[in-house]
Amino acid sequence: MSRSRSAGISRQPARLHEEAKQTLLRIPSRFHGLPTAGHGGYTCGMVAALLGGAPAQVSLRCPPPLDRDLEVVQTNGRISVRDGDRLVAEGVRAELDLEPTDAVDPGQAADVSRRGYDRWAADHPSPRCFVCGPERQPGDGLRLFPGPLGDGRFAVAWTPDAALADNHGRVKPQYVWAALDCPTVAPLIDSWRDGPLLAALHVRIDAPVTAGVPHAIVAWPLTVDGRKRRAACAIFDATGRPLALGRALWIEPRN
């Protein structure tokens, strides 16, 4: 015989939504882009890690504060990062449908980077940017200075420092995200005076990036829609295999 509710069985309604989970995120000052803000790609990578990794899309809603505990709320597979009442970033896991461009040899990427260095370094708005700042020393910043390939694309060589890797020599995802950020602005600007701001980064990592070996990073333009500019980026190993892909949305500031 079945027992009735009055006999002690209670039925709870099914939960329709996942409970919110809270934690904290802090961006150390070393990892800045603009002088007083967290580097966009690095910040997006840290948010993606809280989602369980790439593929993911992260949108930046304001410059990420440095050296401050930021509140992270995860609900129904989405993440919101807040600095008090200010929304800093939002992230969600999302597949990235993006085909890589043609590969470039790391040697060729290094050559165009050297030839394009003066253009990149001139009037740089943040010369100590963690990824592309010309005043960063080797081992401190990534020192990625994209140079033109002559076909609308830009390239730079990258041999990741061992300090960026885990115990297996694989570059940690937040640094892969960072490396997929700054190069994407190169095909979108003629000079830093036209410099837009990163608004969103969508990344897929297909294979590990290995520290201590040369890679080529290639960026290419996608679309321009008013103040919105989109570009893509790929990291290749020395055999031409694409390891990671990113699509970036940049917003031109209002005059």
pLDDT tens digits, 153-204 = 999 999 999 999 999 999 999 999 999 999 999 999 987 776 799 999 999 9
Is 16 part of any domain? no
Round to whole Å and give the CA distance between 206 and 54: 9
C-alpha distances out from residue 142 to 9, 157, 221, 225, Å: 61, 10, 22, 30
- Distance CA(210)–CA(129), nearest Å, equals 23
72 and 121 part of one domain: no
Domain membership of residue 58 as a residue range: 21-93
**Average model confidence (pLDDT) across the chain:** 91
Please check whether residues 50 and 142 belong to one and the same domain. no
Query: DSSP states of 170-229 as a string?
Result: BBPHHHHHHHTTGGGGGGG-SSGGG--EEEEEEEEE-SPPBTTS-EEEEEEEEEEETTEE
17 pLDDT above the threshold of 60: no
Judge if pTM exceeds 0.85: yes
**What mean pLDDT comes out for the span 65-92?**
96
Tally of domains in the chain = 2
Average pLDDT of the residues in 206-213: 98
Residue 61 is predicted with a pLDDT of: 97
| pLDDT at residue 190 in the model | 85
Asked whether residue 215 is assigned to any structural domain, the reply reads: yes
Q: Provide Rg for the chain, Cα atoms.
A: 21
Domain stop point among 71, 93, 115: 93
Mark whether 134 and 233 lie in a shared domain.
yes
Confidence of residue 77 (pLDDT cuts 50, 70, 90): confident
Residue 118 lies in a domain: yes
Token couple for 77 = 């597979």
Output the CA angle 184-187-189, nearest 5 degrees. 105
Instruction: Indicate whether 95 pLDDT > 50.
Output: yes
Does some domain include residue 31?
yes
pLDDT digits (tens, 9 = 90+) for 118-167: 999 999 999 999 999 999 999 999 999 999 999 999 999 999 999 999 99
Could you tell me if residue 14 is inside a domain?
no
What per-residue confidence (pLDDT) applies to 27? 97
Residue 54: pLDDT band (50, 70, 90) is: confident
Minimum mean pLDDT range among 1-10, 16-25, 165-174, 219-228? 1-10
CATH of the domain at 31: 3.10.129.10
Distance (Å, rounded) from C-alpha 246 to C-alpha 185?
Answer: 12
For residue 122, give the DSSP letter: T
Same domain, 141 and 65: no
Contacts of 73 (CB under 8 A, 6+ apart): 20, 21, 22, 79, 80, 82
Residue 41 lies in a domain: yes
Q: Where are the beta strands (DSSP E) in 47-196?
A: 56-60, 70-75, 78-83, 86-93, 147-148, 154-158
